[in-house]
Each structure stands twice: as C-alpha cells, then as structure tokens.
Amino acid sequence: MAQEIIEAPITGTVISIEVSVGDKVEEGDVLLYIESMKMENPIMAPVAGTVTEIKVSAQQVVETGNHLATLEV
C-alpha cells in the first residue's frame, strides 16, 4: 500500500492531536491543530486512509516541512 506523509505547512506549536494510530480518516478530516501567530490552523488529511504513525505530540514546536503523521492509503 502507498503512504502519504503529512508535513507541517507552517512553523508553530502543536496544540492538539485529533486522531490516533489506527484511526480511519476521510479527505478533509482534521488530524491536528498548529498554533502560529496566535491563530489555530487545522492540518487536514489530504486523502482518505488509515493513520499509521503520529510523529509529534501536543505542545511540540514544529517547523515548516517537519513530518507530522503518516497515512496508509
């Protein structure tokens, strides 16, 4: 099966993770939120699949391009 790597589109702090490993998600489902410049930015699934890996935790600072999660599609 193919994998979809979810990367941080912005630098900020992970404020919440909305999914767990093993969860099935649809395209557009919110995976987590990153706070940047006092705004909450939803990070959404680009495709439908199953969450196989979460590489970050709440309150972790991430930079643009950091690996956040992996979906199996």
Each residue's pLDDT tens digit, 6-19? 999 999 999 999 99
The tokens describing 55, both together, are 């590489």
The architecture CATH gives domain 3-72? Beta Barrel (2.40)
pLDDT of residue 1: 75
pTM, 2 dp: 0.94
Q: How far is CA 14 from CA 3, 36, 64, 66, 71, in A?
A: 22, 9, 12, 12, 18
CA angle in degrees (0–180, nearest 5) for 22-27-31: 55
Q: Where are the domains of the chain?
A: 3-72
Of the CA atoms within 13 Å of residue 61, those in its CB half-sphere come to 1
pLDDT at residue number 61 = 98
